[in-house]
Structures are given as structure tokens and as C-alpha cells.
Structure 1
Amino acid sequence: MAPPRHDRGIDRLLAVMACLRDPERGCPWDVEQTFATIAPYTIEEAYEVAEAIRKADMGELCDELGDLLLQVVYHAQMAREGGHFDFDRVAAACVDKMVRRHPHVFAHARVESAGAQTVNWEQQKDAERAAKARAEGRAPSALDDLALGLPALMRAQKLSKRAARIGFDWPEADRVLAKVEEEIGELRAEIARGDAQDAVHEELGDLLFAVANLARKLDVDPETALRDANAKFERRFREVERRVAAEGRQPQACTLDELEAHWQAGKRAASDD
């Protein structure tokens, strides 16, 4: 079927999605999807947006933002079919939230700086979380509404940040660094025992959590730092492969010392660029 014609891009997108989900004439794959099956694609598209931003590729960013918007439209269409809500309600709720959280723009409140606005924003969200907890008949927590589906490293940083806001935090980064070193020692001890994989699992998790907390204290986003480290490793490993291939060899035929020598040579060449 031909998609309905509309003047605005968002109206066309909503109409196309409705056509794709039409039980009689839509796409069989699209029709059989559910919130659960689409959710992984939603997460994937968000990461592809982040990657386009990292590369500063505006053409790719435009394309990836469209793919991410499609995910929102997809979920909204399925919700509309189930009689829960539609895209307009999603957009209206978002508008209401932005207006409510920016009284210095849309009302008569005043903020003196971006930092003050961040404090005000967090206070608004705290109030909303507390109201939600009361409506659900439970005591509010500083850790409410931290999605379990977040990447674990990101969630660790957010957990420690929430705890810090009520004073559960070391005053300086050196104390957190000492905690990282303590966790490394505990991990070494469990590895040395050699027969307690569950304990190694737990201590490694504690170490990663401490590192995420250290990143927060140093005002470093651990997800971005690790993503950059991944990219650096990939560049350097590919350079090792290139250098080995230039010798007419395969990496698996090299000794570890030979591979390490190529790695160090690649690092030196990169630092000379």
C-alpha cells in the first residue's frame, strides 16, 4: 500500500508506522513485534547516535537520530494499538515535564548559573520520585527510578552519585582511589586461593564499582572513557596486525614477545604523529 501523504515529516512517519503495523496489509515482521522484541533495537540505536556524535559526523547523526525516533514511534504505535497511549500523549507528557522542570524559563523563578539549574533540576526530579513513591504506598529512596537496563558501568556511577547527594561519599578522590587499591588486593587474594570462582566474581564486581565511583569523583564519564579505551585498543591491535602482515606472517604465528614489540612500536609511532 502507498503510505498516506502528509506535509510534516513526523505525520508521515506516524502514518508509515501505522501502515507497517496494519494486521491485514502491513509487513509481517513489523506486525509480529512486541515491546520486548523492539527494546534491544531501541538501545542499539541510542548507541549508534552516540557513535555518530563521537565521530562528529553530522550526516550520520541526522540519519541515526531518525532511526532512534523511529523506535519511539514504534513503541507509541504498539501502545496505541493496545489502548494505552499514543505518540501525541508521549510528546505532551515530555513537554509538560520540560516546562515543569524549567520554571526559570517558563515561569518566574530565577537561576544564576548552569550549576544552579542542575541543582534545581535534581530537586524537581527528587520531588517527582517522592510523589511517585507515595502514590505507590512505599517509602521513597534516593536510588528510585535507576533503570536496571542501564549498562552496568553507567548504573554503578549513577548509584554512587545518588548516594553522594545525601552525604554517603568520601570528600576527595584519593580516598576512592585507596578503595580501588583495596579492592585490587582483595581480588588478588581470591585469585590466589584458586578455588572460589564466585568470590572472584564478587570481588571483580566490587573493583569495577569502585572504579566507576572513582570516575564520578574525577568528573569522568566511565562509559565514554571505556569506549575511548576500546577504540584505542582496536586501533593499536589493527596496527599490530598490519605490522605483522608487512613481515609476511600471521599474528597467531608470532610469539607474545613479538606481538608486544609490535604493540610498543605502534604506540611510539602514534605518539610521534
Structure 2
Amino acid sequence: MSPLEELLKTVERLRRDCPWDRKQTHESLIKYLLEETYELVDAIQLKDDAKMKEELGDLLLQVVFHAQIASERKAFDIWEVIEDLNRKLIARHPHVFGDASAEEVLKNWEENKLKERESVMDGVPRSMPALMRSQKLQDRASLVGFDFENIQQVWDKLQEELEELRQAIQNNDRKNMEHELGDVLTAVVELARFLKLDAETALQKANDRFENRFRYMERRAQQMGKDLKSMTLQEMDLLWLEAKEMDHKEEP
């Protein structure tokens, strides 16, 4: 029996004999699927092979678990999942499994995908992180020419949306504030696209910088025998500037 077959038997038994596993559904497992995915991403970014191996196993468990539940519903099983995946990989790589050239494949890839969809927006998951989804939707729209022509138009759009947000704030219009803030963020993603940057990655790196700088502030305050809560905003600002300086010194 292969390791995969042993795993399938284990999951099948868990579904039969474990009260917690037995009551799980596709819907109840979503949060675990997301958690395991993010934990794998962290391991990859940390270049931690041991952790990556562990997290790949945890993610594989989610795939097998969902396939087991689907099998119990007589919908499909793990072998059908594998067969469909293999068939898709072969069909999408005619330059490897057929006579097409790599250039032909790249040229026709998006064109063929468009033919499979009723809308260019099809296939962009609503559950994606909002920033990532925004960039993906904008990329899709650009495939049919719905896009800005130059970066100046993007700057102008961003300034327009910022002004509309400022007006909503001045009018204390809570509903419109949310609307206009969303438009500002969308315009920022457009800017990222024109700069050929990934908005989600840029924000993740900014989050890391913020966390590292704040942790530095906490350590420095402790070294000074103080607590951040007891410090003035001006004192904390000085520590923040110190943290930024430390960041710049550590940059290559």
C-alpha cells in the first residue's frame, strides 16, 4: 500500500470513528484550509524546509479531507481529483506533451481561457484577500482593453478619488466614506499595476516593517524603564524614528 493510500485509509477511519472529524463539512473546514495555506506561505517565505514539509502535509490533509467528504456524498473521490488535475496539466502544456511551441502556448493561453468563460471576471475567487482580488480583476479587465493608457491617468484618478473621500469626510457621510475609501484603494492598486508591482506583496512587506518597528519601540521603552502606554505621542514618535533608522541601516 502506498503512503497516499495509507493516508486515505486513515482519513476514512477518522471520518468514521472520530466525533470531531465526523461532524465536519466542506464549509466548516474552510477556516482550516485558509490557515494551513497561510502557514505554508510563511514557511516558504522563511525558507524553512522542515516547516514547509510539515505545512505541505497539513495542506494535503485538507485536500484529502474534502475529497473524502465529497466521496461520502457520492460526488467525486480523490482519484477523480488527481485524474482531472493530470488531464488539465497535459491539456495546458501542449509544448511539453504535444507539438506546439512554447511561444504559441503563451500567446494563446489567455485567449483560450477567455473562450472557457462567460465573463472575463469568471474564476476570480470572492474569498481572495481584497487587495489581491482587486489587482486580479483589474488585470482581467485589461485583457479586453479596459485600462488606463498611461501612468498620469492613474495619478489623476487617484487624486480624484482622494478628493471625493475628503468631501465625504467633511460631510460626515459614513456610508459614502466607505465607498470612497474603497475607490481610493482600487486606484492605489491600479498604480501598483502600472508600476509592475504586486499590491498584496507591497502591503505585506509594509505590515512586516510596521510590526518590526513597533516591536523595536516596545523593546526600547522597556530598556528605558518605561511603558509605551505611559509615554507621550512625541516620545513614541522619537522611538518610531529610531526604528526607521535601524531599518535603513539593515537594508542592503
| Common fold: TM-score over 0.5 | yes
Q: Which residue of 2 aligns with 1:240?
A: 217
Between 182-191 and 212-221, the greater mean CA deviation after superposition? 212-221
* Aligned pairs, number: 250
Counterpart CA distance in 1 for 2:92 and 2:127 is 25
User: 1:121: Cα distance to partner?
Assistant: 2.6
Counterpart CA distance in 1 for 2:121 and 2:185 is 19
**Structure 1 counterpart of 2:13, which letter?**
C
Give a deviation string over 1:88-126, Cα, whole Å, max 9, x none.
1011111111111111111111123xxx64443322322
- Out of 153, 159, 169, the position equivalent to 2:147 is 169
Q: Which residue of 1 aligns with 2:69?
A: 78
Contact residue 101 and residue 124 of structure 1 kept, 8 A: no
Counterpart CA distance in 2 for 1:253 and 1:160 is 46
Query: Which portions of structure 1, spanning 4 or more consecutive aligned residues, are displaced by more than 4 angstroms?
Result: none
Counterpart CA distance in 1 for 2:10 and 2:190 is 45
Counterpart CA distance in 1 for 2:131 and 2:43 is 21
**Structure 1 counterpart of 2:147, which letter?**
D
Contact residue 165 and residue 181 of structure 2 kept, 8 A: yes
Answer yes or no: is 1:145 the counterpart of 2:133. Answer: no
In the superposition, relative to structure 1, how do residues 159 and 240 fare at CA in structure 2: closer, same or farther (>3 Å)? same
Counterpart CA distance in 2 for 1:78 and 1:121 is 33
The runs of 5 or more residues in structure 2 that have no matched partner are none
Give a deviation string over 1:155-210, Cα, whole Å, max 9, x none.
1111111110000001223321321222111111111112x100000000111111
Q: Which residue of 2 aligns with 1:185?
A: 163
Counterpart CA distance in 1 for 2:41 and 2:112 is 27
| 1:122 counterpart SS class | helix
Q: Which residue of 2 aligns with 1:128?
A: 116
In the superposition, relative to structure 1, how do residues 180 and 235 fare at CA in structure 2: closer, same or farther (>3 Å)? same
- Out of 21, 39, 45, the position equivalent to 2:30 is 39
**Structure 1 counterpart of 2:109, which letter?**
W
CA-based RMSD of the aligned residues comes to 1.4
Percent same amino acid among aligned pairs? 42
Answer yes or no: is 1:54 the counterpart of 2:31. Answer: no
Counterpart CA distance in 2 for 1:165 and 1:266 is 43
Contact residue 142 and residue 162 of structure 1 kept, 8 A: yes
Counterpart CA distance in 2 for 1:45 and 1:121 is 30
**Structure 1 counterpart of 2:171, which letter?**
R
Alignment of 1:1-273 (within 5 A): 6=1, 8-22=2-16, 26-112=17-103, 117-129=105-117, 140-194=118-172, 196-273=173-250
TM-score (norm 1): 0.88
| 1:21 counterpart SS class | helix
Counterpart CA distance in 1 for 2:5 and 2:155 is 52
Give a deviation string over 1:29-57, Cα, whole Å, max 9, x none.
00000000001111221111111111111
**Structure 1 counterpart of 2:192, which letter?**
A
Contact residue 236 and residue 267 of structure 1 kept, 8 A: yes
Contact residue 94 and residue 105 of structure 2 kept, 8 A: no
Counterpart CA distance in 2 for 1:268 and 1:227 is 20
Give a deviation string over 1:3-42, Cα, whole Å, max 9, x none.
xxx3x222121111111101xxx11100000000001111
Contact residue 35 and residue 75 of structure 1 kept, 8 A: yes
In the superposition, relative to structure 1, how do residues 16 and 173 fare at CA in structure 2: closer, same or farther (>3 Å)? farther
| 1:35 counterpart SS class | coil
